[in-house]
Amino acid sequence: MLRLGVLPTPAVAHLTAALGADLGVMLSASHNAAPDNGIKFLARGGFKLSDAVEDEIERRLGEDWSFPVGSAVGRVRDAYGEADRYITHVLATTRDRLDGLHVVVDCAHGAAHMVAPEALLRAGATVEAIGARPDGLNINAGHGSTHMDKLQQIVVSRGADIGIAYDGDADRCLAVDHTGAIVDGDQIMAILASAMHAEGALAKDTVVATVMSNLGFKLAMRDAGIHVVETAVGDRYVLERMKADGYNLGGEQSGHVIMLDHATTGDGLLTSLHLLSVMAATGRPLKELASIMTPLPQILINVKDVDRGKAAVPELTAAVAEAEAELGESGRVLIRPSGTEPMIRVMVEASSEEHATKVADRLAGVVRVACV
């Protein structure tokens, strides 16, 4: 067994493949607090295990096993220096230098706290790091991609060009432009897809997104001559579709972006490096690049204590059809039953927040009556 030390999930994925390991193991709570830590497994080649394999592992945990003892257990070798192999790999994916760019990175007191500042410094950027003092318990606490207010303030006060926020295991990132405005995963994907499309590097002129991606993203991609393929929510479903159909860019609004030419999973450092590379190559500020799409106001209502199995009852189906006709091409409706709770999610996008709220409230009312 090789002990890699504190590294991002995508680093473990890359090294699992690069070192020819049979299995990669990551202890992580993703964007959550330390008490929520769990185990992520990565198969040979660096890809996440399928749902079926994970279910089988959980089933077998309840069985009686005869475990090896003593010397039969195996050996552990420290391999902390392999972090440099990962950094070198990420930097080799782009030729652009970042000289002249002032970047603030928020490492969420997590796994990116060493590799992200180091990689961006090597690429030529001026780097300030916050949330880079992990103590084993403070991961994601008040920092990172779910707590961006500090990053927004510092980017503006320092006059930085961009802020990058990773989550605890750094498999995702979000950004902040020089005015302090947040740039989400949809906007990042739009920027990268447009740049790759212009270079002829976007496979099949297609990007893979989930049903939660903003309609503004899909409209922007249509206008740019780029197809959008939708999947269920979850980066694993994005990846499955990419692998099945030969696409090389996909992701989620949350900031999970998969660049399959270079990585087997979402990679916050890789994503941020390529976003910065577009800024460097074009000389355009992030705010201008992000204007490629105009996010539509999105209202999400979680209707609790209902029967999630009734999300397709006739009363709700009719109400959704009426709402879709009302919104036309300037909005959309998405009804999603929770996979784990007695809850149905109502999401509405419209040309104005007021209109989206009105439609969402109306549909939520139908759910409360028809789905009990």
Q: Cite the active site residues.
A: 30
Give the DSSP per-residue string, 65-82: -----GGGG---EE-TTH
Q: Which residue has the tokens 């782009």?
A: 94
Judge whether 146 and 140 are in contact, CB under 8 Å.
yes
The set of long-range contacts for 335-341, using a CB threshold of 8 Å and a minimum separation of 24, is 335/311, 335/363, 335/367, 336/211, 336/233, 336/311, 337/308, 337/309, 337/311, 338/302, 338/308, 341/304, 341/308
DSSP bridge pairs for 229: 208
Q: What tokens does 170 get?
A: 């750094």
Rounded Cα distance, 217 and 301, in Å: 21
Q: What tokens does 282 get?
A: 């074009």
Residues 6+ apart with CB under 8 A from 306: 342, 343, 344, 367, 368, 371, 372
Rounded Cα distance, 24 and 36, in Å: 20
Strands 173-176 and 38-43: what pairing? unpaired
